[in-house]
Amino acid sequence: MEPLLRIKNIEKYYGNKSSLTKALDDISFTVDKGEFVAIMGASGSGKTTLLNCISTIDKVTAGNIYLEDIDITTLKGKELNRFRRDKLGFIFQDFNLLDTLTGYENIALALSIKGAPVSEIDEKVKYVAEELGVTDVLEKYPYQMSGGQKQRIASARAIITNPSLILADEPTGALDSKSSKLLLERIKFLNEELSATIMMVTHDSFTASYSKRVLFLRDGKIFHEIIRGNDNRKQFFDKIIDVVTLLGGDVSDAL
């Protein structure tokens, strides 16, 4: 497999000399094209910091992050904006939909900003809406949608530009179990059928069991990794639970 993302010895410190937090402590790993990786760890272990450094929302203190051979830690200004717009798709816990836009308009936004032709936008919006099962709420505003529908609209928005990498931070954090399952099935579909590369942060073993590989973080370090291989989701779930139990519930208790 071809590597898409290479994380090399990244460190991230917060604070100053008198109170220094090592949020990321010398992390290195590679994600291949088409992988679906989950990041697990207790609250405060550095999951969000790691995702934010990859998404360039936050800056690393040391180390390099390569996406398709470009060191994204060196990007600035226009280049940085273009990178975010063209290469990344975000799925946040709190959806981040714009309240004054319909579902359709929220999904179309990224393409509109790029200046894509209206006919192309229309075709793509309808296609991803169909894929994510939200065709019937395209004309609704976020306040008229359920949590699960909002999350799927947000997911459609994240994928419409066909990003190299989809980053999700606790995507099921605000959803009930039925909506969680629906969303995870869709994310799995994006990964398996549309070959999207996915990195997903979660504290939840069930959510993580949809991935193909789980990296466990503790105190800003990767201390364990499990690979799904030929296991089905339930078997992988049991293996994840074993690791979580070994940690004394440290991972799943906290958000």
Residues contributing to the site for ligand ADP (CB under 6 A): 14-15, 21, 23, 41, 43-49
148 vs 220 by CB, closer to ligand ADP: 220
Min separation Cβ 179 and ligand ADP, Å: 22
145 vs 166 by CB, closer to ligand ADP: 166
* Residue 130: other Cβ atoms inside 10 A: 11
Range in contact with Mg ion (rule: CB under 5 A) among 45-53, 99-107, 143-151, 243-251: 45-53
Min separation Cβ 202 and ligand ADP, Å: 10
**For residue 153, what are the CA distances in angstroms to 46, 85, 123, 197, 249?**
28, 18, 16, 19, 33
Min separation Cβ 110 and Mg ion, Å: 24
Q: Are 207 and 241 in contact (CB under 8 A)?
A: no
47 vs 157 by CB, closer to Mg ion: 47
Sheet (strand 165-169) strand order? 88-91, 165-169, 197-201, 36-41, 213-218, 221-227
Min separation Cβ 94 and ligand ADP, Å: 14
44 vs 147 by CB, closer to ligand ADP: 44
Round to whole Å and give the CA distance between 95 and 84: 17
Going by the DSSP 8-state scheme, the letter that residue 211 receives in this structure is S
Q: Which does 202 bind (CB under 5 to 8 A by kind): Mg ion, ligand ADP, none?
A: none
Site for Mg ion contains 49 (CB under 5 A):
no
Round to whole Å and give the CA distance between 83 and 240: 34
Round to whole Å and give the CA distance between 185 and 46: 26
Q: Which does 14 bind (CB under 5 to 8 A by kind): ligand ADP, Mg ion, none?
A: ligand ADP
Select from 23, 41, 48, 111 the one that contacts Mg ion (CB under 5 A): 48
10 Å CB burial of residue 69 (0-12, 13-18, 19+) is exposed
Q: Which does 41 bind (CB under 5 to 8 A by kind): ligand ADP, Mg ion, none?
A: ligand ADP
Closest-approach residue to Mg ion (CB): 48
Min separation Cβ 24 and ligand ADP, Å: 8
- Give the position of tokens 């917060």: 14
Range in contact with Mg ion (rule: CB under 5 A) among 39-47, 58-66, 171-179, 237-245: 39-47
Q: Which does 43 bind (CB under 5 to 8 A by kind): ligand ADP, Mg ion, none?
A: ligand ADP
Per DSSP, the residues of 54-90 read HTTSS--SEEEEEETTEEGGG--HHHHHHHHHHHEEE
79 vs 225 by CB, closer to ligand ADP: 225
* Residue 192: other Cβ atoms inside 10 A: 12
Residues that bind Mg ion (CB under 5 A): 47-48
